[in-house]
Amino acid sequence: MSVSIKSEREIELMRQSGRILARVHDELGKAIRPGISTWEVDALGEELIRSYGCVPNFLHYNGYPASICVSVNDEVVHGIPKKTRILKEGDIVSLDAGLIYKGYHSDAARTYGVGRISQEAQQLIDVTKQSFFEGIRMARQGMHLHDISAAIDNYVTPFHYGIVRDLVGHGIGTSLHEDPQIPNFTQKRKGVLLQAGMTLAVEPMINAGGWEVNFLDDGWTVVTKDGSLSAHYENTILVTDGEPEILTILE
């Protein structure tokens, strides 16, 4: 396994890629309301990405048929947008989006409530988001990759949620998926030593029930095995010798 260290020039391109993706997410978030189809969310996302002169990196990735992954309720990730899937009040929806700017990839996900949602659903969304921030406090030069994973696990576990194990975060740069893999759960090994200049996509996927998932016959959609709700939160970050820089959030 080799983890790429980005040069100053590459870091600047990653920053620009991330900044554009942050804008795309902000716009997509505003569009979420009861009555919109997941297909319309995807169409808007693709249009926004292209409006910045960027390319959606998910489109045709291993044959994925859309630009945005739109995953509703018990769908964990990789939900395929459909004209017939209409968001309704009380749903939760995860939007996972990514783009390429001058050869450099960014990747980020948010989970939103549609209209008014239950307290249970809101807590799942909030805990999933906070687990990302707990994890990346460990993302600095001199720490090990596993410190991120363990911090996420330690934060989430007291809520008795299920941490998805079949899918993990990843390095990112000139490819969408680079080394290392970044589990969201505690493991025995320490993982790679983190160094300034690594760019990572940290992405906890958390279920209200058990951690087990099923892969649907459409070849993409991942759902919780027990039908419980699932939330996803992801940003592309830069490891430095101090606080990590979150590239896909606007200051």
DSSP 126-162: HHHHHHHHHHHTT-STTSBHHHHHHHHHHHHGGGTPE
- For residue 83, give the nearest of 50, 42, 33, 114 by alpha carbon: 42
Q: How far is the CB of 96 from Co ion (least distance, A)?
A: 7
Residue 58, contacted partner among ligand MF3, Co ion, none, CB below 5-8 A by kind: ligand MF3
The one-letter amino acid at 230 = S
SS3 81: coil
Q: Which of 203, 207, 233, 247 binds ligand MF3 (CB under 6 A)?
A: 203
Residue 201 touching Co ion (CB under 5 A):
yes
Nearer to ligand MF3, 88 or 184 (CB): 184
CA distance 223 to 216: 7
Residue 10: which of ligand MF3, Co ion, none does it interact with, CB under 5 to 8 A by kind? none
Among 96, 36, 49, smallest CA distance to 70 is for 96
Give the one entry of ligand MF3, Co ion, none that residue 69 binds, where binding means its C-beta sits below a cut-off of 5 to 8 angstroms depending on kind: ligand MF3
Residues in the interface with ligand MF3 (CB under 6 A) total 11
Strand partners, 144: 193
| Contact call for residue 222 and Co ion (CB under 5 A) | no
* CB of 203 vs Co ion, minimal distance in Å: 5
Q: How far is the CB of 45 from ligand MF3 (least distance, A)?
A: 11
Residue written as tokens 């949620």? 161
CA distance 140 to 204: 18
CA neighbor of 38 nearest in space, from 76, 94, 116, 118:
94
Does 96 sit near ligand MF3 (CB under 6 A)?
yes
Closest to ligand MF3 by CB, 81 or 242:
81
Candidate list 10, 42, 91, 107; residue touching Co ion; CB under 5 A: 107
Min dist. Cβ of residue 58 to ligand MF3 (A): 3
**Distance between CA atoms of residues 143 and 176, nearest Å:** 23
- The distance of closest approach from Cβ of residue 99 to Co ion in the complex, given in angstroms and rounded to an integer, is 12
Binding residues (CB under 6 A) for ligand MF3: these are 58, 61-62, 64, 69, 78, 96, 98, 107, 201, 203
